[in-house]
Structure 1
């Protein structure tokens, strides 16, 4: 199941990045300004949040295997209009529809995997799935420029439609539903000292008011961390290929290879840090130390890299290397945020809460490409990419400092579950 869901994440991020990878020829053919392209790029996330929340609540009641199959089929179908359209308005509509179809993918995937792994074993499986996303971006950097060079930018969308159809057939015959929650398996949450992981079967038999969950400072802090990570992700997916080609002057195929290198850096960093977090918890570290403080440290380090990119006089290759490290570190949030939420909320509401997190966090990716496009257009075109990327550092720093102040998972678990309402009499 982990392998198939990793393959799904690969397709998901190929679908996301393809527009950014063909930005230069697409903008030239459709006569789009940077602001107009930024608007179309950000439109992918316009219904992303709404569909994520809606399907997240459905995942509390319906098997995730059928929800994921429906998503895979819809992704494949919506690629074809993108390959054929010559209208900017039609392309925008296709991206909105695709975003709505792909929005629930990550939270439903998390909910599906958590049915196979207990709390202390969840960091690495989610990190592996996230590397499917990294692999998709890596393949995009290596293959999309070649496909575009040989057959034109439209062929990329046709190929993605075929790949989505293949995954859907595989999932139909192989995909299964986990039964960890169904059998009432106990989950655990780290105590403040980390030495005592108390089993709480009530985590599966009690339900909390959503108003209570969504007003908790720790839950809100996780949402803010996600918003910052998605802001960075949205900027990078849509504008890094153009920055490499037009801002740093690399030829298109070389720019794709450098993009692949940036993405390749993410995989070992994310898996290594996720493993470190899991190892720390196994050795008795509190979740506050092993998850919260670690993810905040990576965000602050990544933000520092974006600032250095702006203020230091570096050669193009050095800038790519610095960019690779800066964008790899904050991605730890994608692996640890679902685990943090799962510590605090009942299993019966986990799918919807992770979906709400993804929905609210993804608003960062909806806004960032448009902000970046506006900065590029207003402040010097090809010379304004680095100030645009530096806006991510502000968001990362604010989120990290807020989490260091207010994100206490153990405390929130005790507070939220103090007066839980039973699901059954």
Structure 2
């Protein structure tokens, strides 16, 4: 059910990119204006993510998720009549506010069913719902647009959201698993100490980088395929579906590999921390290579696909590291803070890409490739930060040795 929720969630996110060309033509939008609309989903995303995550520390995740899904279902309907950039902006900003806590609260709910050593793969499976949503979008949204117009997609999304809410009422349940000893379960660590921990900060940086490329691709790949690569709408939709069909199993395989390393006794510093840092760095090099002169269109598509797929593992391994170092009672809040910080990348990346396309004289191909160079720089920089910062085992010892009142380190008889 949580994976299906992420399916609907990502259909909501990607629909704008897949109707970009007819929307821009009907409403006479520039690339920068469309980039602002694409980034507007993140204007209140971070605030609502943090508030929702803090609520998840104390409230039932079942009812929080139901309330969020009902809200974003209702917010699809005004798009059927929206006729100006301001009305569309309002819809997307409110949609972002209702979707902000979805991923961290879903992960927090999932962690109530799986212990730490087995979390990488279940979270990766959760995010396969996101990938399936993108796949369905790439194949279905161009068909709906061709037959009934681009606005009809929002009615379909509202119906899917309503169906999920009904099913969640029938089948959704709250897990009861905790991963710490009874004496530790209620221990809280000062947020000042948590938010200055190297592993927490490194995970935030990795999530920021992954969200930069995710926001850029979700908003602009369909437009790039049509106006930059010359594909017509249906073919661009199929290419987008192929993009998802490759990136999804790649991210799932990398998450499984990380979990296998942990099962073989590889310390979390390497099996999770160095693993994430390496994938971000390699992805940065692949994405930056798009700007090399003389590359064939297929080669550019392959580089973008492989680079994007490698960054997605951050969405499963990153939360696992946060869960490893954060007390159960504060996990929802820290996951939400990570999402909130990464949403700043989601706000900036679509706008930066749109501005670069406009600065290239409206050349979608040239502007998008320049944006890929910027994206590669972000990935490489954050990958280097992750390599330096991510050490969950060391952070666990440091944080478990602080008192909730003062944050002062204590001597532990059993630091493990």
TM category, shorter: over 0.9
SS at match of 1:44: helix
CA distance, structure 2, for counterparts of residue 248 and residue 212 of structure 1: 49
CA distance, structure 1, for counterparts of residue 232 and residue 329 of structure 2: 51
CA contact (8 A) 2:288 2:375 kept: no
CA contact (8 A) 1:280 1:290 kept: yes
Per-residue deviation, residues 260-314 of structure 1 (Å, max 9, x unmatched)? 1111111111111111111110110000111111111111111111111111422
CA distance, structure 2, for counterparts of residue 301 and residue 89 of structure 1: 39
Say yes or no: does 1:418 pair with 2:415.
Answer: no
Could you list the runs of 5+ residues in structure 2 that have no partner in the other structure?
A: 406-416
- Of the three residues 190, 200, 205, the one matched with 1:219 is 200
Cα gap change, 1:344 to 1:203, in 2 (>3 Å) = farther
CA distance, structure 2, for counterparts of residue 82 and residue 148 of structure 1: 14
Indicate the residue corresponding to 2:50 in structure 1: 53
Of residues 413-422 and 347-356 in structure 1, the stretch that sits farther from structure 2 once superposed is: 413-422
Aligned pair count reads 403
Cα gap change, 1:405 to 1:86, in 2 (>3 Å) = same
Indicate the residue corresponding to 2:307 in structure 1: 326
Say yes or no: does 1:80 pair with 2:77.
Answer: yes
CA contact (8 A) 1:258 1:320 kept: no
Equivalences for 1:246-257 in 2 at 5 Å? 246-257=227-238
CA distance, structure 2, for counterparts of residue 100 and residue 421 of structure 1: 31
RMSD (Å) for aligned C-alpha atoms? 1.1
Indicate the residue corresponding to 1:26 in structure 2: 23
CA distance, structure 1, for counterparts of residue 345 and residue 400 of structure 2: 30
Equivalences for 1:144-183 in 2 at 5 Å? 144-181=141-178
Per-residue deviation, residues 21-60 of structure 1 (Å, max 9, x unmatched)? 1000000000000011101110000000000000111101
CA contact (8 A) 2:101 2:336 kept: yes
Could you list the runs of 5+ residues in structure 1 that have no partner in the other structure?
A: 188-199
CA distance, structure 1, for counterparts of residue 142 and residue 315 of structure 2: 27
Indicate the residue corresponding to 2:3 in structure 1: 6
- Of the three residues 382, 386, 395, the one matched with 1:399 is 382
Say yes or no: does 1:243 pair with 2:224.
Answer: yes
Equivalences for 1:159-308 in 2 at 5 Å? 159-181=156-178, 186-187=179-180, 201-308=182-289
CA contact (8 A) 2:288 2:377 kept: no
CA distance, structure 2, for counterparts of residue 290 and residue 202 of structure 1: 28
- Of the three residues 98, 116, 124, the one matched with 1:127 is 124
CA contact (8 A) 1:203 1:345 kept: no
CA contact (8 A) 1:203 1:347 kept: no
CA distance, structure 2, for counterparts of residue 31 and residue 242 of structure 1: 15
CA contact (8 A) 1:45 1:366 kept: yes
Per-residue deviation, residues 174-199 of structure 1 (Å, max 9, x unmatched)? 10000113xxxx34xxxxxxxxxxxx
CA contact (8 A) 1:71 1:105 kept: yes
CA distance, structure 2, for counterparts of residue 319 and residue 94 of structure 1: 34
Q: When the two structures are superposed, what TM-score results if normalisation uses the length of structure 2?
A: 0.95
CA distance, structure 1, for counterparts of residue 297 and residue 233 of structure 2: 15
Indicate the residue corresponding to 1:114 in structure 2: 111
Q: When the two structures are superposed, what TM-score results if normalisation uses the length of structure 1?
A: 0.93
State the Cα distance separating 1:318 from its structure 2 match: 2.4
Equivalences for 1:341-360 in 2 at 5 Å? 341-360=322-341
State the Cα distance separating 1:315 from its structure 2 match: 2.1
CA contact (8 A) 1:44 1:98 kept: yes
CA distance, structure 2, for counterparts of residue 307 and residue 114 of structure 1: 35
